[in-house]
Amino acid sequence: MRDFEYSRAETLSGAAGQMGEGASVIAGGTNLLDLMKIQVMTPSRLVDISRIGELQGISEDGDGLRIGALVTNSELAADGRIRSGWPLLSRAILAGASAQIRNKATTGGNLLQRTRCPYFYDTAMACNKRSPGEGCAAQEGVGRMLAIFGTSEHCLAAHPSDMAVALAALRAEVEIRSKEGETRCLPVTELYRLPGDRPDLESVLEPGEIITAVRLPAPLADTRQVYKKVRDRASYAFALVSVAAVLEMEGDRIASASLAFGGVAPRPWTDPEAEQALVGAAPGDEAFGKAADVLIEQAHCHPDTEFKKPLLRRTLIAALREATGLAKPATGASTARIPA
Amino acid sequence: MTKTFRMDEAQPRLLDETGQGIVGAPLDRPEGPKKVSGRAHYAADGLPEGAAHGVLVRATISRGRITGIDESSVSGLGGVIGVFHGPEFLRNPAQGMAGEAPVQPGDEVHYHGQPIALVVAESFEAARDAAQRLVVSYEAEEGVETDPASASALEQDDPETAGDFDAAFAASEVTLDRSYATAPQVAAAMEPHAAVAEWEGDSLTLRGALQMLRFNKDELADSLGIPAEKVRILAPYVGGGFGSKLGIGPEAVAAALAARALGRPVRVVMTRQTVFDAVLRRSETSQRLRLGADRDGRLRALSHDDRVSNIEGEGFAEPVSQASQFLYGADGLSFAQTLARVSRTPAGSVRAPGEAVGMLALEQAMDELAEALEMCPVELRLKNLPEKNPMTGQPFSATRLADCLREGADRFGWADRKPMGSRREGEWFVGMGMASAARSNMLVKSAARVRLGADGAVVETDMTDIGTGTYAILGQIAAEMLGLRVEQVEVRLGDTSFPGASGSGGSFGANSAGSATFLAAKAIRETLAGRMGCSLSELTLQDGIARGGNREMPLSELVEEELVEEASVEAGDTSESHFSSGFGAHFAEVAVHAYTGEVRVRRMLGVMAMGRILNEKTARSQALGGMIWGLGAALTEEMAHDPRTGHVVTRDLANYHVPAHADVPGDMTVVFLEERDDMANPIQTKGIGELGISGAGAAILNAVRNACGARVYDMPATPDRVIAAMEAAGS
């Protein structure tokens, strides 16, 4: 680990004052410290924002909620309002990481976590995200976890967050404060940039901007919310694919569908055409499969991720079956019942 | 004086006659409270005064030569003390029981990830930073072969055979010819490999994370070119080994070299990434099973061929067909192995070498044969149990495999197993599967010393406890033999100044070190019988009282001066005349998601006969741990190598998926059937941990097949592979 300076900010404006070239904000540190140990990230200064009061807490915001950037994943997932109005978010968070990590990880930090592409993590390998212009070792390498949407010849990395996928399907917004103290809001999906030829630029945050909150719009009455994550083991693994689905029914037809997909793109992936394909449809594997086909038509796969096309298709169908009541959701979301 | 005992004939079951009643009891491990409160000091936990920190630097080419290590690239960094490299550096850890230095490649690089230098600094952080920055120049070779599947350097011995396989296969009414593949795996012990080296004059003390100190001492001395008597190794606590700590490793030699040069202690702890890069892996395998049988299920022909890999210069080849060579009988048997030489992280023993992966294939093939014969898989196995080892003709020393199969089927509710694909709960297919378990059993030369004082006893041996329960069982054996409460026995392990034992490996530690402890205590009993004026068979020792020859006397009076006996045991004629193996049967029930291909194991049962059980609790934990390893091999564990460089891509525990708690069913049952193996060793035991793995994964994969029709030939059965197999099966 490289030596670094450490300073603690008590206020947002104080934090802004301490930021500068080579500085990085630290809150939970669950991702940043790992990356510093292996020297994928080598900030010269850490500005600790974890004690800033303005970033704490969940408050009501009209019919919606404002979630402070420092609210931990555990706190957010356990919040009664979230569990009743936006259960998708709670389930997605609990599908990620481990209890210990969720106790430390924050809402803002979760959104800005880095990819887990193993070539990004290995400083002996070329990575444009780590060192722009160096090349992308993943292209000819191995990678079950690589993305299939929104990639480029310069980067195949997937965004690993589960929480962000749920937020995208819930049409949440990110509240951002500039160094000068001005606030702007963006849909979660617009926080991220696709890699193009600059995979190192992952978000649209300007220098000195920090995420202050996530805003959840009012929950739609009677929506069916499902988060379905498939991974290589039952817990503590990143998604091979995940599906967040928010459905509104009108009688026995689907009135609206809001979908987001994880483990498949550099950001929570959305596909308005796939959503549109469900509107007015009667629930059933055929209708679900058609929507899935619209989605996976856009996929560009590395040989190791070809499997994500059938897997994503099937996982979307399974999620929609749960959302529409065709399948009884198994106890504990997507795990089999295990006798005590 | 050391008494050496050779296991030349069956021994009386003395532990069934002694009166204390401790052997076999499910006692807590005595060191448990220390471990859970941080007071058990593992290799890296202690930092001697003045110690410096070393971090290993890896090669970043697949093969070639180091042309320069630019020490000036780090010499100006704060806290950096020096860079060490040289001809003594190890390419990789020694193979188990080598007793001599492993390959020392000098300036040659043989695989991407090979430790080539040690950077030493005043802090771990500074050393790690400098290791990252150190500039190394290479002359890389072109056209290096890193892929076992396409490697051209192949070694193949003549097949091992019995009878005429080809003729028997041709004459069989029903035949099966299947290929299976297993992924490379890694032990991933919780404690990373670590060493703290400290010199006093020309004598070295090394605190290490090692399994076999008697051998490690010689390996370390040979690596450094110093006499073995100048080396002392301490490893009182080891945080899991699973084969990965059998031999001396690069961290130990590097720490010793740097400490000698600097005249101060040096601690080297491998990062998790280095553990994956540079510790011996389990080879990937490709396997071909050919089975031929009569319509009634009697096996006529059995062939199990395999292809594995290793780096050049390593003699180890995963013994894939080991259990296939004795588990079932057939008229014609044939086993051929091909070893591909590749520039990859070297391969070696990982828990249950051979059986762990070989039985995944064998026991799936048996299931497929049962299906082809429309026969119950349990019945098929029962029908083919040989009376003797079919390859060697040796009678089995003890086998209760048939009982394990029947008892397991009964306890598991096997009769309720439904036809393939016919049981569904919601979106989940549910099915049952089973497999036989077998793991050959060994006795390895071991010595131990027992001291009996007025108020208790001490056991001393360089045996290790790698989490298995050695402290518990050696204390129980000594207490049983000497008529003491177990709290009155102190067990001292992991110090090469004690008598040399087998070490922990091959599940033979309890047999071997346990027998040595038994024999040393038995020698003390002989002395006590003499003092009591009775014969050995008349002597009873219980609760600190000696009885015999119509006398009764407290041990405290009988033993005025400490009695010390050392004993040594080694394999003898019985290992030639008989074949010893643990046997068992695994059963599993799984749910397979009809859409996503996720597999969830709902329950597992292992019924095992593994000789005398020394501690029912630690034995059970060993068996359970083994079964979870089986689950990992079947469903989750896969080490990925880059196709260009061969380097390990899955270099941490986020990418290499050992089963998480959520993968392990709450309902896991282990049943031990009573058994004594009189030919195995003087305490009639067999190895345990590895039997838990052997076959367990196959039971799960057979259950997947029963659930949904998917047969996954390329393991582990991750969701994508299950989906592909479901689609192939049309389910």
How far is A265 from B245, CA to CA, in rounded Å? 40
Closest partner residue to A232 (CB to CB) among B129, B718, B724 is B718
B592 & B627 share domain? yes
Residues of chain B with pLDDT under 50: none
Say what the pLDDT of residue A221 is. 75
B269 & B213 share domain? yes
Q: Is there a contact between A318 and B661 if contact means CB atoms under 8 Å apart?
A: no
What phi and psi, each to the nearest 5 degrees, are found at residue A329?
-65, 130
Q: Of these residues, B198, B284, B407, B690, which one is catalytic?
A: B690
pLDDT more than 90, % of chain A: 94
How far is B275 from B268, CA to CA, in rounded Å? 12
> Which of A136, A236, A313 is the best mutation test for B, with the most CBs of B within 10 A?
A236
Chain A positions in Cβ-Cβ contact with residue B413 (cut-off 8 Å): none
Residues B111, B346: contact at Cβ < 8 Å?
yes
How far is A154 from A193, CA to CA, in rounded Å? 14
Q: Is there a contact between A330 and B659 if contact means CB atoms under 8 Å apart?
A: no
Residues B120, B84: contact at Cβ < 8 Å?
yes
How far is B1 from B510, CA to CA, in rounded Å? 23
Can you read off the two tokens belonging to residue B193?
């490999």
Say what the pLDDT of residue A332 is. 32
**Packing angle of the helix pair B616-635, B355-373 (nearest 10 deg):** 70
Say what the pLDDT of residue A331 is. 45
Say what the pLDDT of residue B3 is. 74
- When pLDDT is cut at 50, 70 and 90, the band that residue A338 belongs to is very low
Q: Is there a contact between A233 and B719 if contact means CB atoms under 8 Å apart?
A: no
> What are the CA-CA distances from residue B82 to residues A90, A211, A285, B204, B446 (Å)?
51, 43, 65, 20, 41
Residue B411 belongs to a domain: yes
Q: Is there a contact between B273 and A235 if contact means CB atoms under 8 Å apart?
A: no
Task: Say yes or no to pLDDT of A333 above 80.
Answer: no
User: Pick from B278, B294, B320: which residue ends a domain?
Assistant: B278
Contacts of B308 by beta carbon, 8 Å cutoff, 6+ apart: B148, B283, B284, B285, B317, B318, B320, B337, B338, B339, B340, B347
Residue B360 belongs to a domain: no
Query: Positive or negative, the Cα torsion across B708, B712, B718, B722?
Result: negative
Other beta carbons within 10 angstroms of residue B155's beta carbon come to 12
Residue B649 belongs to a domain: yes
Say what the pLDDT of residue A322 is. 93
Other beta carbons within 10 angstroms of residue B73's beta carbon come to 14
**Domain of B212, in residue numbers:** 52-143+187-278
B131 & B203 share domain? yes
User: Pick from B278, B295, B327: which residue ends a domain?
Assistant: B278
Residue B668 belongs to a domain: yes
B90 & B7 share domain? no
How far is B625 from B627, CA to CA, in rounded Å? 5
B589 & B554 share domain? no
Residues A273, A294: contact at Cβ < 8 Å?
yes
Closest CA of chain A from B518, distance in Å:
40
- When pLDDT is cut at 50, 70 and 90, the band that residue A329 belongs to is low
Strand ranges (DSSP E) for B36-84? 52-58, 64-70, 80-84
What ipTM was estimated for this complex? 0.96
Nearest residue on chain B to A317, alpha-carbon basis: B595
B561 & B619 share domain? no
For Cα atoms B641, B646, B652, give the angle at the middle one, nearest 5 degrees: 40
Residue B161 belongs to a domain: no
Contacts of B247 by beta carbon, 8 Å cutoff, 6+ apart: B93, B94, B95, B96, B98, B102, B212, B215, B216, B219, B280, B348
**In this structure, what DSSP letter does residue B323 have?**
G
At residue B445, the 3 state secondary structure works out as: coil
What's the mean pLDDT in A100-122? Answer: 98
B416 & B457 share domain? no
Task: Say yes or no to pLDDT of A308 above 60.
Answer: yes
B449 & B521 share domain? yes
Tell whether A124 lies on the interface with B, counting CB pairs under 8 A: yes
B468 & B533 share domain? yes
User: Pick from B278, B300, B327: which residue ends a domain?
Assistant: B278
Chain A positions in Cβ-Cβ contact with residue B131 (cut-off 8 Å): none
Unique residue bearing structure tokens 């404690």: B191
Contacts of B12 by beta carbon, 8 Å cutoff, 6+ apart: none
How many domains are there within chain B?
3
B428 & B475 share domain? no
Closest CA of chain B from A30, distance in Å:
13
Say what the pLDDT of residue A222 is. 83
Residue B326 belongs to a domain: no
Residue B46 belongs to a domain: no
Q: Is there a contact between A233 and B654 if contact means CB atoms under 8 Å apart?
A: no
Say what the pLDDT of residue A337 is. 34
Domain containing B480 — which CATH number?
A: 3.30.365.10
Query: Positive or negative, the Cα torsion across B378, B380, B381, B387?
Result: positive
How far is B99 from B90, CA to CA, in rounded Å? 14
B638 & B687 share domain? yes
How far is A204 from A196, CA to CA, in rounded Å? 14
- When pLDDT is cut at 50, 70 and 90, the band that residue A330 belongs to is low
Nearest residue on chain A to B659, alpha-carbon basis: A233
Residue B160 belongs to a domain: no
How far is A219 from B289, CA to CA, in rounded Å? 58
User: B690 an active-site residue?
Assistant: yes
How far is B683 from B673, CA to CA, in rounded Å? 16
Nearest residue on chain A to B602, alpha-carbon basis: A338
Say what the pLDDT of residue B111 is. 98
Quick: pLDDT tens for B221-255: 999 999 999 999 999 999 999 999 999 999 999 99
Task: Say yes or no to pLDDT of A281 above 60.
Answer: yes
Tell whether A2 lies on the interface with B, counting CB pairs under 8 A: yes
Quick: pLDDT tens for A68-87: 999 999 999 999 999 999 99
Can you read off the two tokens belonging to residue B285?
């395998």
Closest partner residue to A142 (CB to CB) among B597, B642, B652 is B642
Say what the pLDDT of residue A37 is. 96
Which stretches within B433-578 are classed as H helix? 470-482, 509-532, 555-558, 574-577
Nearest residue on chain A to B55, alpha-carbon basis: A1
Residues B427, B594: contact at Cβ < 8 Å?
yes
> Which of B344, B603, B642, B648 is the best mutation test for A, with the most CBs of A within 10 A?
B642
B476 & B599 share domain? no
Q: Is the pTM of this model over 0.95?
A: yes
